[in-house]
Amino acid sequence: MLFLLFSSMHSTTLAIFAEIDGIGSASGLFLHEDFLYIIGDNSAYLNEYNIKTKQFRKIQILFEAGLNQLENIPKPLKPDFEILGQHSDKLYILGSGSTSKRNLMIEFDLKTQKVVQKDLTDTYTKLKAIAKIDDQNFNLEGAIFTGNEWLLFNRGNGIDSKNGIFKIEGADLTKAVRIKFNSFKLPNINHIESSFTDAALVNNEIFFIATAEDTKSTYADGEILGSFVGSINLQTLKLNFSNKILGKHKFEGITLLSQNEHSTTFLLCEDRDSEELKTVIYKLAINFQEELSTLIAI
């Protein structure tokens, strides 16, 4: 008896979507209607960019004296906002936790424009204890909030290569109690394992980006070897696929642009690890193809 099987294939295309002056070290982004929200890991502002009119607005999110007017906060003091997540009408901006000064969370209400600051020090301490991750290997770079559960993505660019996903039950991240940690193996380039840099939820599928950077430090930068895009099953947290992205980019933010039955297209932002106030937004299309194969059973 002859059986026909279909196996999925993926290919990617990368193009420049926009070039924006006034934003440096872009590390996270989220598209809401025509507005693209972008954060920098060393800035006191959330940036709002209208993709149709090209108008640009800065929204202050840090108010601490000495930091509240800065576009390039010095590295030892920067909040390291690596995460821009969303649920309903709120944006969630999280520090990476890679130093004691990087434990802040900002909630921004898209309707009221209200800014609320919260301290995640206690939660980050619990995460490190449960996952047995020390301070030198803790570096959160992505978050998904479903409304009743958080997924936080640890970037394994420390000496222990601790890539993994924290699953936290409950809506209040400052009161995390039920926490699980899932270690994760990602593809490598020249024997340098890539590490999570962001993630987005699309129709119960986690799409992630990961970068291979030749460093053993969550603090010091290294040579960028390239980035991957892939997807993870939301229920099982198992890898579905991963594809190398053309070039040697350090992509640090991903948000959905469009989707149809043949492709899913995202916008990506890149951290150039420089003080230049300019960012390039890329468009990445993941094309899905079905390859027909045969299996003969007797």
What is the full DSSP assignment across the chain? -EEEEEEEEEEEEEEEEEEEET--SEEEEEEETTEEEEEETT-SEEEEEETTT--EEEEE---STTTTT-SS--TTT---EEEEEEETTEEEEEE--SSTT--EEEEEETTT--EEEEE-HHHHHHHHHHHT--GGG--EEEEEE-SSEEEEEE---STT---EEEEEESS-GGG--SEEEEE----EETTEE-EEEEEEEETTEEEEEEEEEE-S-SSS--EEEEEEEEEEETTT--EEEEEEPSSS--EEEEEEEEE-SSEEEEEEEE--SSS-SEEEEEEEEEEEEEEEEEEE--
Task: Give the torsion through C-alpha atoms of 134, 137, 141, 142, to 10 deg.
Answer: -60
Task: Set out the domains of the chain in order of their start, with CATH numbers.
Answer: 2-296 (2.120.10.100)
So what's the pLDDT on residue 298?
A: 41
Q: Classify residue 214 by burial, with Cβ atoms within 10 Å: 0-12, 13-18, 19+.
A: middle
Cα(16)–Cα(20) distance, rounded to whole angstroms? 11
pLDDT at 255: 98
Can you give the pLDDT at residue 290?
A: 56
pTM of the shown model: 0.91
pLDDT of 1 reads 47
- Gap between the Cα atoms of 125 and 167, Å rounded: 15
Q: Which residue from 64, 108, 105, 49 is spatially nearest to 82, judged by alpha carbons?
A: 105
Q: What is the pLDDT of residue 220?
A: 64
Per-residue pLDDT, 219: 64
Which residue ranges of the chain lie beneath pLDDT 50? 1-2, 4-7, 291-298
Q: What is the pLDDT of residues 4-25, one digit of tens each?
A: 444 457 889 999 999 998 887 7
- Rounded CA separation 79/239 (Å): 31
| Cβ atoms of 126 and 113 closer than 8 Å | no
The predicted pLDDT at position 217 comes to 64
